[in-house]
Amino acid sequence: MLPSTMMRCAFYRLVSGPPFRITDHQFLSCAGKIRSNYGTAWKGTRSSAGISRRHFQKDLLTILDAPVAPVTVTEIRQYLRSKSISFLDGYSCLHVPSPFTCSKGNNLFIDKTTGRFLCKETLLEGTWADFKDSMELLSKEDCSILSPDTMASFLGDSDIEDGERHFNDMEVSRIWNKAVWFHDVEEEYAQLIKAMFSISKINNTTLKKFGVKCFQPTKSLLFPWYSPRDSTVKGLKLLSAVCQDDTVSYIETFYPRPSHYQNLFGLSVMGKKDTDVVITSREVDSLALHQATGVTTVSLPRGISCLPPVLLPYLEQFKRIILWLGDDLRAWEASKVFSQKLSLKRCSLIRPGDRQPSPLQALNLGLNFNKILKSSLPASHKSIISFHQLREEVFGQLENAEQVAGVKWDRFPELNKLLKGHRKGELTIFTGPTGSGKTTFISEYALDLCVQGVNTLWGSFELNNVRLAKVMLTQFSLLRLEEQLDMYDEWADRFEELPLYFMTFHGHQNIK
């Protein structure tokens, strides 16, 4: 019997249409098993010490993760710069070299919103304060790397949490070893279990690929949480069925408890070079989607209730993310919220509709998955952006005000006052009557910048390039070279080193 004091249950009705119905004869045996193993915990109206229930019928978007000390991405960047730590700006995280491994590359990820970090190689994780403490310890010990074991003890849990984790590990191992693969179950029995969860069309090969087993004592589906480091099983989710008023409802049981269950189901099947992924809200949806299309897909640990920040580093490799979270309004709203966490510019959403239900229901109805995926809507409008997307560029311009102002002319201080320098992206028009000195002045203007290393391209449609180059060379040398031809090669060599180029167009040209 599963210890009721360690159970964390969540009741929900499948959102892919009406609940699946089976005959009383078929279900009584299953319901009896569930009742005998879960005791009173399966009854939604009763509670006991140590049992935490999560009712999926409520609005889950208000559920928040554990509070953390506030930190802004600007503060994180300023700290990294102050410590001379190089970083790359990712979608949801900053990528920095890990102080816990000798491997090169930016394999430690810092969440831009919370400051939490995760080293993908060692799986060490902690708060922003923990990261800063690690950097201070590095400096104090005058070393280039911190031992993962040392940091694990430094970031270690309390004795109570250690005891709970040890108990969970034992339970996970016991349940996992007792569960069986579907291809080892009698065909008739396996079909009954699949029918209970509406996954009759999902074959045993797909179930084995994702590590899904059958836990026979409660006729439950068993979804593993594989460690990304060594593929060992570090957690489990059991999906069980109960019968109420001739309908089937479902119970989720987590090991460890839900707040510590941070699994991306399907992560073990994902390729390291995959660039596209579809995120679903349920494991059965990921199974259906992958079997039908072969696309990379993962499911969230707690459905549409939240997207834990600790999972964001595992999604950084993807350039395109499709969120297909369900077939109702709450799933649609959750998709829009999660896309903001994941970066709007790479996210697309599947809008719920009659022809775009959940992936599992789409498989059961025989719908065209490729058509549904192609109909996904961009999370952001291509012609509309928010200040959030401009924020870092604005900071960069403020931080480098002199560079943004442009390259100053050495010989034209008054021009600097008017134009603030030669600035990228600006067009300046000089006008005046014939013979007023436009070409002469712009030649001096360009030479001043060329000498400072500014690439200059001339497009002269009135003067041919030979005559223009002659004028500029004379201005550059400050000599009458026609009277001192012996100096020509010397000045021509120096003039040739300038980043100066000429278009070959001259005179009337076709507009194309």
Domain annotation covers residue 49: no
Q: What is the pLDDT of residue 159?
A: 60
Gap between the Cα atoms of 476 and 227, Å rounded: 68
Interior CA angle at 215 toward 278 and 63, to 5°?
50
Check whether residue 450 and residue 394 sit in a common domain: no
Check whether residue 367 and residue 438 sit in a common domain: no
Q: What is the pLDDT of residue 147?
A: 75
User: Hey, what are 166's tokens?
Assistant: 């040890």
Tens digit of pLDDT per residue, the chain (512 long)?
A: 333 333 333 333 333 333 333 444 444 444 444 333 333 333 332 222 232 333 333 233 333 344 545 788 889 999 999 999 999 999 999 999 988 888 778 889 999 988 999 998 888 888 898 899 888 888 887 787 887 666 666 655 556 667 777 888 888 999 999 999 999 999 999 999 999 899 999 999 999 999 999 999 888 999 999 988 888 999 999 999 887 777 778 889 999 888 889 899 999 998 888 999 999 999 999 999 999 999 999 999 999 988 988 899 999 999 999 999 998 888 999 999 999 999 888 999 999 888 899 999 999 999 999 999 999 999 987 777 777 767 777 877 777 676 667 788 888 888 888 887 888 778 889 899 988 988 888 888 889 888 888 888 988 877 788 888 888 888 888 888 888 888 888 898 888 888 888 888 776 777 77
Which residues, at least 6 apart from 58, have a Cβ–Cβ distance to it below 8 Å?
none
Q: What is the pLDDT of residue 313?
A: 93
Check whether residue 324 and residue 365 sit in a common domain: yes
CATH number, residue 391:
3.40.1360.10
Q: Are 331 and 281 in contact (CB under 8 A)?
A: yes
Gap between the Cα atoms of 12 and 497, Å rounded: 74
Domain annotation covers residue 169: no
Gap between the Cα atoms of 168 and 174, Å rounded: 10
CB atoms near residue 479 (< 10 Å):
14
Domain annotation covers residue 153: no
| Domain final residue, candidates 342, 376, 399 | 399
Domain annotation covers residue 497: yes
Check whether residue 354 and residue 452 sit in a common domain: no
Check whether residue 326 and residue 444 sit in a common domain: no
| Domain final residue, candidates 377, 399, 421 | 399
Q: What is the pLDDT of residue 151?
A: 65
* Residue 274 three-state SS: coil
Q: Strand 320-323 and strand 276-280: pairing?
A: parallel
Domain extent, residue 362, equals 264-399
Q: What is the pLDDT of residue 437?
A: 87
Gap between the Cα atoms of 216 and 185, Å rounded: 9
Domain annotation covers residue 69: no
**What's the domain count of the chain?**
2
Residue 136's nearest CA partner among 186, 192, 85, 65 is: 85
Residue 359, burial from CB neighbour count under 10 angstroms (0-12, 13-18, 19+): buried
Which residues, at least 6 apart from 379, have a Cβ–Cβ distance to it below 8 Å?
323, 335, 336, 339, 340, 344, 345, 347, 348, 349
